[in-house]
């Protein structure tokens, strides 16, 4: 009986000491999960009213993913013209993304958690003036530019110059046959506008990490990746281009060849930005592509330092966030 009482006393004393010093009986996996939850994350790519999602649901979604600051990218005006697919692609490809007023309003309602960009249909005569008004109101990025124009068009170049004037990045959705056409001409734009920060995003941008990607109509290629594709070279050769890791295209680029992904993240650790572009309502589970991308980045980053750069530090520096 004395032995049992002594053992109970030891356990009680030990447990009390552990609690006093902040220890718990959590597993190492639990501790890592708790530590990750406390680390800030910046999401550079989200939308208001995305597939009719409410602002409150979006805010809850971002918090569930562990995101601490989110940049909202607006759509352009609702117009019928070739660059919007005769109106079918309004709302950024027909997903119902909210416009300039919508993102500014949410940023005001959720001050500190949400920031906003400015946007307009590229080839509208008033595009420059509309975006400039939004920049003067506090927008920190131009985009998402997702319209059926040549990426080296005169109208596009006006916006590249505007981005340089206001020292904000411009985010381009590259999708062969649909948006920001002529991906092969992007390099000339990087050369012509060295003071403009370009952020590449979407299917054609991520398909071209592979040196063997020849058929541009294939938007979600699978299988092994050979380093040295167009995107890989642009990130290596030009200081004014960054990569937005968002959407299914970004996640596919990580998961299709994880050995390549580890090297790619290490090679471009200072140029990759986390974005979600996720229309999920929960922020957790198998349907949340944004959460899956965070998990993939944590798994495939070869060091904690690289992971923190991609999920937080690169965006904080680029957007000059406090």
Return all residues near 232 (Cβ < 8 A) that are at least 6 apart: 208, 209, 211, 264, 267, 268
Confidence of residue 205 (pLDDT cuts 50, 70, 90): very high
**What does the DSSP assignment read for 226-278?**
-S--HHHHHHHH-TTEEEE--HHHHHHHHHS-HHHHHHHHHHTTTTEE-----
Confidence of residue 37 (pLDDT cuts 50, 70, 90): low
Q: Nearest 5°: phi and psi at 145?
A: -75, 105
Over residues 51-73, mean pLDDT: 97
The DSSP code for 212 is T
CATH class of 39-318: alpha beta
Hey, what are 229's tokens? 């594709």
For residue 46, list its beta bridge partners.
72
Query: Would you list the domain boundaries of the chain?
Result: 1-38, 39-318
Query: Which pLDDT score, from 0 to 100, does residue 17 have?
Result: 32
Query: Mean pLDDT over all residues of the chain?
Result: 91
Query: Which pLDDT score, from 0 to 100, does residue 18 have?
Result: 32
Give the pLDDT confidence of 232-260 residue by residue, as tens digits.
999 999 999 999 999 999 999 999 999 99
């Amino acid at each position: 009986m004395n032995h049992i009482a002594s053992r109970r006393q030891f356990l009680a004393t030990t447990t009390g000491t552990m609690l006093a010093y902040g220890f718990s009986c959590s597993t190492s996996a639990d501790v890592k999960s708790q530590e990750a939850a406390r680390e800030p994350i910046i999401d550079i790519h989200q939308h208001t009213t995305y597939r009719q999602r409410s602002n409150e649901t979006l805010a809850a979604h971002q918090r569930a993913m562990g995101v601490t600051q989110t940049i909202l990218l607006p759509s352009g005006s609702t117009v019928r013209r070739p660059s919007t697919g005769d109106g079918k692609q309004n709302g950024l490809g027909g997903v119902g993304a909210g416009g300039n007023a919508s993102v500014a309003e949410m940023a005001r309602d959720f001050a500190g958690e949400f920031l906003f960009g400015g946007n307009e249909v590229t080839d509208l005569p008033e595009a420059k003036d509309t975006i400039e008004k939004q920049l003067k109101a506090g927008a920190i990025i131009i985009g998402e530019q997702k319209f059926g124009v040549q990426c080296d068009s005169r109208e596009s170049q006006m916006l590249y110059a505007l981005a340089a004037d206001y020292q904000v990045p411009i985010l381009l959705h590259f999708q062969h046959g649909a948006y920001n056409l002529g991906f092969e001409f992007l390099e000339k734009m990087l050369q012509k506008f060295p003071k403009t920060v370009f952020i590449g995003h979407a299917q054609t941008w991520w398909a071209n990490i592979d040196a063997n990607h020849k058929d541009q109509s294939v938007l979600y290629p699978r299988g092994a990746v050979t380093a040295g594709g167009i995107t890989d070279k642009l990130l290596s050769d030009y200081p004014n281009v960054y990569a937005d890791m968002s959407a299914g295209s970004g996640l596919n680029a990580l998961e299709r060849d994880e050995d390549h992904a580890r090297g790619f993240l290490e090679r471009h650790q200072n140029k990759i930005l986390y974005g979600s572009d996720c229309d999920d309502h929960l922020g957790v589970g198998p349907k949340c592509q944004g959460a899956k991308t965070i998990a993939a980045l944590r798994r495939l980053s070869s060091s904690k330092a690289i992971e923190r750069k991609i999920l937080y530090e690169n965006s904080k520096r680029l957007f000059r966030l406090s």
